[in-house]
Structure 1
Amino acid sequence: MKTWGVGLIVLLVVALGVTAYVVSRPDGDSTTDEMAERIATRIGHPRGTDGNAYARAALEGTTDPKYFAVLEVTDSPTDDPQKVHASLLFRVHHPGTSESQQPWRLWEVDPVTACYRADFNHYGVAEGGPDRVACPAGARPITPPPAQRTGVPENYLAAFETILAALPPAPTPDEVLAALRAKLPPMPVDERTRLPWAEPRLDAFVKDGNVGVIAAGGGSCLNGVRLADGTVAAWYPPRVQTRPGEFGCAGQSALQLYKTPPPK
């Protein structure tokens, strides 16, 4: 076969491949791609606790599901910061110019509706950004449940003191945690969402008869100690001391912080 014939066949194969890709690729265009990228980047930080947290962030300020809607929420819990821990499938709509009433437009741009799947890890939207996918047939917009309020209730401080004072002389960490869970006040109800607050994270540490406990939530870290000599205290350390890289927020750090003066 002559060289020009082989070249023509190669060009035809390439052209057919490009055409097949364009025809088979899900609906969308550069405008909807940019819209999806902006949304995914915006909600990637701070890290969402789960898929519903990303969905709530994406829907913030959006009132018309015609232009933006979350269609699926997927959770994949993992402790690996590089791995995907939540995904969203969402739909965006660009109205084009055919839905505009501007009389001065020079050309028509058709409206476009496109769907995207965005994966999120600890660092934000996963590498590659949101992928354009086919919109599921019959998919309906999802409204995620409201978020539970997080924090440590005010009455926990006095409860810490009472519970710690009543502990036996040499409790185990499990016994300390059991006493806390049994005797701490019930979580208050958020007036806005009508949901109880999320349970704070509890931790206990025991060494040589000294007990350290914490309750952490919503950026707060309540500390408590019961020393071997019977001394009991509960307090909120400055956040500069409890953040990662400093003392942190744990039962063991509560004992360390009790003997450490706060920063000036």
Structure 2
Amino acid sequence: MKPGGMAALVATVLVAGAVVHFVTRPEGNENTDRKARQVADRIGYPRGTDGNAYARSALEGNPDQKYFAVLEITDSPTDDPRKVRASLLFRVHDPGTSEAPPTFRLWEEDPVTACYRATFNYYGVTDGGPDRVRCPDGAKPVVPPPAQRTGVPENYLDAFRTILAALPATPAQDDVLAALRAGLPPVPVDEQTKLPWVEPRLDAFVRNGDVGVIAASGGQCLAGVRPAGGTAEAWYPPRVQTQPGEYGCSGQSALELYRVPPPK
């Protein structure tokens, strides 16, 4: 090889590599990167119940699909808090100086449309994401369905007392649950979304004639007890008592909380 040939070859390879990197790098700039990170960090925690929940959170405050749009929603249900549970592909548009008043233009910036994929586990957005990716050809915005309302309906309180009072003296746990399902009123329909509320989770526990029941949904916990030979009671325990790591919200915890003074 002639003198200088090796240096020329290395320079050519470096230039070619730079060209390939430039050509293959997905569209985007500092503004779109910053917007994508802000959205992903904001919606990462508290965790969403599913991909639609993350998408609804992402669209809050971003109503104009010209500037921000969700393109794909993927669910990956898992009980492992470290594994991906959902992912979003979304599009961010930076208008550059095209929409700025001429008097405020110090220099011209072209409009940029960029796409990002963000994955989420129990703790939030994963792997330092979101990652800039190529926008799919012909992709159209996806609007997630409205969320069903969660919570325990108010009329469950009196229904708990009535159902517990009507139980036989020594019911079986399965009989208590069956009585709850048969006697509780239907969940209401949300006037705004026209969707029924999410059915609350029910649980029952029987011990030496004492009966404890709960209905839980959306962070609310309704507890009911009927002590052996006693009067049926129902109440909403304070959140500090029913949260994970404390008594929790279960039929057994209802009996335990019945004998615990409420926090001051």
1:202-241 matches, within 5 Å, as 202-241=202-241
Whether 1:140 aligns to 2:140 is yes
> After superposition, what is the alpha-carbon deviation per residue over 1:181-209, rounded to whole angstroms, capped at 9, x for unaligned?
22210111111111111111111222223
User: Counterparts of 2:131 and 2:180 in 1: how far apart (Å)?
Assistant: 46
2:101 maps to 101
Name the residue aligned to 1:193: 193
Aligned to 1:112: 112
CA distance in 1 between counterparts of 2:20 and 2:132 reads 16
1:99-125, Cα deviation, whole Å (9 max, x unpaired): 323234232111000111111111111
Q: Distance in 1 between matches of 2:227 and 2:104?
A: 78
Q: 1:26 to 1:228 in 2, by over 3 A?
A: same
Instruction: State the Cα deviation string for residues 226-264 of structure 1 (Å, max 9, x = none).
Output: 223243211111222111221111111111011111122
**Do the aligned residues in 2 keep the contact of 1:209 with 1:228 (CA within 8 Å)?**
yes
Letter in 1 for 2:54: Y
Question: Counterparts of 1:1-264 in structure 2 under 5 Å?
Answer: 5-264=5-264
Aligned-pair identity in percent equals 70
Q: Secondary structure at the residue paired with 1:103?
A: helix
Q: Which runs of 5+ in 2 are unaligned?
A: none
Closer/same/farther in 2, CA of residues 3 and 256 from structure 1, 3 Å limit: farther
Paired residues of 2:148 and 2:197 also in contact (CA < 8 A): yes
RMSD between aligned alpha carbons? 1.9
The runs of 5 or more residues in structure 1 that have no matched partner are none
Would the aligned equivalents of 2:169 and 2:229 in 1 still touch at CA under 8 Å?
A: no
1:170/1:110 CA distance change after superposition, 3 Å: same
SS in 2 for 1:63: coil
Cα distance, 1:63 vs. partner? 2.5
Change (3 A) 1:251 1:8: farther
Name the CA shift for 1:3/1:77 in 2 (closer, same or farther; >3 Å). farther
Relative to structure 1, the CA distance from residue 7 to residue 261 in structure 2 (aligned partners, 3 Å threshold; closer, same or farther) is same
Secondary structure of the 2:249 match is coil
Cα separation, 2, equivalents of 1:225 and 1:3: 93
Which stretch of structure 1 is more off in the superposition, 82-91 or 14-23? 14-23
Give the TM-score, by structure 2 length: 0.92
For residues 21 and 245 of structure 1, do their structure 2 counterparts lie closer, same or farther at Cα, with a shift above 3 Å needed?
A: same
**Residues 1:172 and 1:3: Cα distance change in structure 2 (over 3 Å):** farther
Tell me, in whole angstroms, the C-alpha distance in 1 between the residues paired with 2:198 and 2:106. 55
On the 8 A contact 1:99/1:111 being kept in 2, the answer is no
Aligned-partner residue type, residue 61 of structure 1:
G
Q: Partners in 2 of 1:249 and 1:140 — Cα distance?
A: 42
Secondary structure of 1:117's counterpart equals strand
